[in-house]
Amino acid sequence: MRKKTVRKRTVYKKAKKKSLFSWGKIAKILGAFIAIAAIGLAIYHYRDGLLYYLGYKSHFATKEQLEEKRLSDVRNFQVLSKHDGKAIGIDVSEYQGNIKWEDLGSIEETYAINFVFIRATVGSDCPDRKFSKNWLEAKENKIIRGAYHYYRPNENSLDQAELFIKNVRLSKGDLPPVLDIEQLPKNQSIRQLKVGLRKWLQAIEDHYKVRPIIYTGEKYYDSFLKEEFSDYLFWIANYNFYREKIQDNWLFWQFTEKGSLPGIEGTVDLNIYNGDLQQLQFITIE
């Protein structure tokens, strides 16, 4: 008997349609969207500075200069625009070279310079080579002036105070003396550093009959000075891009070291006083 041949039926599986959007593609699209949104928000946030920069700066600066100063110029204008009515100033030393004080104009032709802090001395044996010239010419050009001392932690504090007193003669209308402390000691403890700072401050106050101001960076202030020197007023340096407003408890804020000003070659520090010009005059020596 012949066997029946049973033919196997070939079953064809339907091919799955490929998804137009895989999870990987979706993640990439979302990432790109977030990046574009972040850039858009940044442009909107800094719109005033960008518009000013593109409309005013680009017509005279070289491509290299624009690239180098683009971000700092945008931030500087943004910060200044948020402090309308505040007194604006600079601080200088021998590193600014020969300043043409008679040509000292406004920042970005918009914000007038109301005050200047001038470095007088460094440590216990180093007068600033341009101090006498800068001190005299600031007065002649009717800019409110102040003198500061760069403190070296590993040198005798009273010798440093004596050097400052020897070189700086304050008169009516000048700002109080400033102690600039930025360094940490190498050969002494933080406790000893604070003792030395107190001695300098007290010697200066005894001589000039006015309480000095302390200049330092925000981190240094928070870490070492905020609690024990709360009886002094502070001038704080903070160049962080995110910070755009002066804090209420800061007397002065140094917000950039990359300012531009007619009469000064290169860059210069820019500062904001936490008050208007009349209030600034109120804290000067009578």
User: Range with the lowest mean pLDDT among 16-30, 178-192, 211-225?
Assistant: 16-30
Token couple for 268 = 């210069």
Q: Is 286 considered catalytic here? A: no
Q: Residue 65 pLDDT more than 80?
A: no
pLDDT recorded at residue 58: 39
- More confident position, 102 or 60: 102
Q: What are the structural domains of the chain?
A: 85-282 (3.20.20.80)
pLDDT recorded at residue 9: 55
Catalytic one among 67, 68, 140, 182? 182
**How far is the C-alpha of 260 from the C-alpha of 108, rounded, in Å?**
8
User: Range with the lowest mean pLDDT among 40-44, 86-90, 259-263, 265-269?
Assistant: 40-44
User: Residues 191-197: what's their mean pLDDT?
Assistant: 97
pLDDT recorded at residue 107: 87
Q: Residue 17 pLDDT more than 70?
A: no
pLDDT band at 69 (very low <50, low <70, confident <90, very high): low
pLDDT recorded at residue 33: 65
User: Residues 57-84: what's their mean pLDDT?
Assistant: 69
- More confident position, 3 or 208: 208
What mean pLDDT value characterizes the chain?
85
pLDDT recorded at residue 192: 96
pLDDT recorded at residue 73: 78
